[in-house]
Structure 1
Amino acid sequence: MVLGRPVTLRQVVFGLLLVFCLTPWASPPVALALGLVLAQVLGNPFVAQTKKLTAKLLQYSVVGLGFGMNAHAAVAAGKEGVLFTVVSIFGTLILGYFVGRWLGLGRHVVHLISCGTAICGGSAIAAVGPVLRAKDEEISVALGTVFVLNAIALFAFPPIGHALAMTQNQFGLWCAIAIHDTSSVVGAAAAYGDQALQVATTVKLARALWIIPISLGTALLFKQQGVKVKLPYFIVGFILAMLVNTFVPAVRPLAPLLVALAKIGLTVTLFFIGAGLSAAVLKAVGARPFVLGVVLWAVISTASLYVILQAV
């Protein structure tokens, strides 16, 4: 009993793990792993609450990371990632269409998984889903697919980067292109180094702006009328934070604190994401959508890695 209310074992464990994620000993990969273990062993006692908090917490954390960025360096990184972004987005969407047809999947699921892989994971799916007028189960399957692959990428990418002796710039660029969700991109890059984090965050958020034209293109392609396109306003917040940090010297003493809070927010976000990947969610994805997600991810990961190692 706490304050006169009954408390279950999994609620206690959830609370203890959450507190641990607020400490310096926790990192994004560790937080995700703890969430995954909790989801499989005891289950998430606050599914609805964590699902609601995840998107907002991620957005606030990304804005906070902007206070650790320099606008001049960000512009340079953004320019370097433009060509990679354009080629990889349209290449992924086209490949997804043909692989999806080969697997016999519905057009909505194929388009959602392709957009999630091409742009920015769950954010892209959440934006494109209403434009597509996709069913809840179609959106859930697409989200489940990219979240599982996100979890794998967060653990796999840093060791691969070290094994290949990738520079901070190379690794940050690779993360931004080849990992779906912004949370996992930032988490993997943060584990590699501060410069990788800056490059990955800048290029990924520039990539996320493609949500707008892709959503509009989706409405035309699927002949949907009267739909609203959701704008990623948190990207505007990130840009403003970066500009303030660069051009308003009075704010700079606060920047380290804001960035530290943002990194804690990101760690908690990944704990929430892991806690949401229950066995039921994994089972609901199904084999064929997961195969589509794996094929698209494998192609974009290996192709972008090869090009980056050769050209950057």
Structure 2
Amino acid sequence: MRDRGAEVWPGVILSLGIAVLATFVGHAIPVAGSALPAIVIGVIIGLVRRPGARLRPGVAYSSKFLLQFAVVLLGAQLSLGSILVVGAESLPVMLASLIVCLLGAWWIGRVLGVHRRLRTLIGVGTGVCGASAIAAVSPIIGALAGEVAYAISVIFLFNVLAVALFPLIGHALALDPHAFGLLAGTAVNDTSSVVAAASVFSTAALGFAVVVKLVRTLMIIPISIGLSVLEAKRSAGAGRLTVRRVVSFVPWFLAGFIVVALLNSIGAFPQSVHDPLVAASVFLIATALAAIGLSTDIGAMRDAGWRPLLLGAVLWVLVTATSLAVMIATGWVGL
């Protein structure tokens, strides 16, 4: 362990330093969060000077293990009570928009010629919860650093547009704060952007929007298990799926996410512990994304071209339109 620590600490220290800087940027510009600044700073440093042999082990460690550990800590944001109450109200809108988004990512992404891994990242980032969902599924599908960077950049662009446009849409449709909270929570990607959009619309919309968004995060679990099964079948060939085999596909960090969420539901974490856990998950995601930025292949992003951006735009519109359509059908929006 001592030898391993000596090998990885230089790259980990560099990634942590970038994450600290990105956190300051996120506090200064809340809508940006810390994830995008971390990956952008990492990319810029990597362009100036690629990590050498001394830094590479720690950068790789940060981009994989620290990312997975951050996903485990994300479970501290969820509680069983809020899941049951908010889930019952928002489930039809949430499931409809998620299904449309994932099917759209699969079909439209194929039509546009977007690589399977990249269209998966953009699909789950748009349909579930932005950078957190991308962080959760990227190790499962073996996504490249450039693909992760591109997907997060696409998600961020439409987060910014959502903060500007969603309050206007909400006022144009005369949505009450509760209804707008549901729309923002199901159709805006990252939590920071949900907070920003709801705050612009109405302070009363903020609480419900955030809880809907956190419940939406739970969709990471079935999606990750499904992707694990698909990746296993793709790499090892088709075989009979037993319960034991499916359980074996569940990544350790996803199991940890569920355990932490259950512990939080039964009140195992006092407030003095809960808040630091949530902050640590956000900071570790920034650290991991800084490492991904350091190892990003800009040439691969350039080769991907404009098609992934178009895919992100189409999926964003589809999710928003589907959420509104289901809200109208279920009486949340009166016309």
Q: Same fold (TM over 0.5)?
A: yes
Matches within 5 A, 1:105-254: 105=114, 110=119, 113-114=122-123, 117-119=126-128, 120-127=133-140, 129=141, 142-163=147-168, 164=170, 170=179, 173-174=182-183, 177-178=186-187, 185-191=190-196, 192=199, 193-206=206-219, 208-213=221-226, 215-216=228-229, 224-225=237-238, 229-231=249-251, 232-245=254-267, 254=270
Tell me if the contact between 1:169 and 1:199 (Cα under 8 Å) persists in the aligned partners.
no
1:275 and 1:19 map into 2 onto residues whose CA distance is 13
Distance 1:174 1:62, change over 3 A: farther
Tell me if the contact between 2:146 and 2:297 (Cα under 8 Å) persists in the aligned partners.
no
- Output one character per residue of 1:108-166: Cα deviation in whole Å (capped at 9) or x when no partner: 76566545544543424543x2xxxxxx5x75565344322232244443444444357
Equivalent residue in structure 2 for 1:63, among 67, 75, 97: 75
Distance 1:154 1:259, change over 3 A: farther
Count of matched residue pairs: 282
Unaligned 5+ segments in structure 2 are 1-9, 52-57, 200-205, 240-244
CA positional deviation for 1:75:
0.5
The question of 1:311 aligning with 2:311 is answered no
Tell me if the contact between 2:97 and 2:322 (Cα under 8 Å) persists in the aligned partners.
no
Letter of the 2:274 partner, please give it: L
The question of 1:266 aligning with 2:266 is answered no
CA RMSD, 1 decimal = 4.4
Equivalent residue in structure 2 for 1:75, among 76, 84, 90: 84
Distance 1:206 1:56, change over 3 A: same
Tell me if the contact between 1:92 and 1:296 (Cα under 8 Å) persists in the aligned partners.
yes
Distance 1:14 1:225, change over 3 A: same
Letter of the 1:103 partner, please give it: L
Secondary structure of 2:250's aligned partner: coil
Secondary structure of 1:225's aligned partner: coil
1:292 and 1:124 map into 2 onto residues whose CA distance is 18
1:217 and 1:36 map into 2 onto residues whose CA distance is 28
Question: 2:5: which partner in 1?
Answer: none
CA positional deviation for 1:18:
1.0
- Output one character per residue of 1:50-107: Cα deviation in whole Å (capped at 9) or x when no partner: 31255234324312323xx4x3332011122322333233323433343234324566
2:233 and 2:87 map into 1 onto residues whose CA distance is 28
Tell me if the contact between 1:65 and 1:262 (Cα under 8 Å) persists in the aligned partners.
yes
Identity %: 17
Deviates most, 72-81 or 57-66 = 57-66
Distance 1:89 1:197, change over 3 A: closer
Tell me if the contact between 2:137 and 2:224 (Cα under 8 Å) persists in the aligned partners.
yes
Question: 1:5: which partner in 2?
Answer: none
- Output one character per residue of 1:206-257: Cα deviation in whole Å (capped at 9) or x when no partner: 4542433465477779994258622521441243133222xxxxx57x2254
Distance 1:215 1:305, change over 3 A: farther
Question: 1:293: which partner in 2?
Answer: 312
2:307 and 2:25 map into 1 onto residues whose CA distance is 40
Distance 1:304 1:65, change over 3 A: same
Deviates most, 16-25 or 254-263 = 16-25
TM-score when normalising by structure 2? 0.63
TM-score when normalising by structure 1? 0.66
Tell me if the contact between 1:57 and 1:266 (Cα under 8 Å) persists in the aligned partners.
no
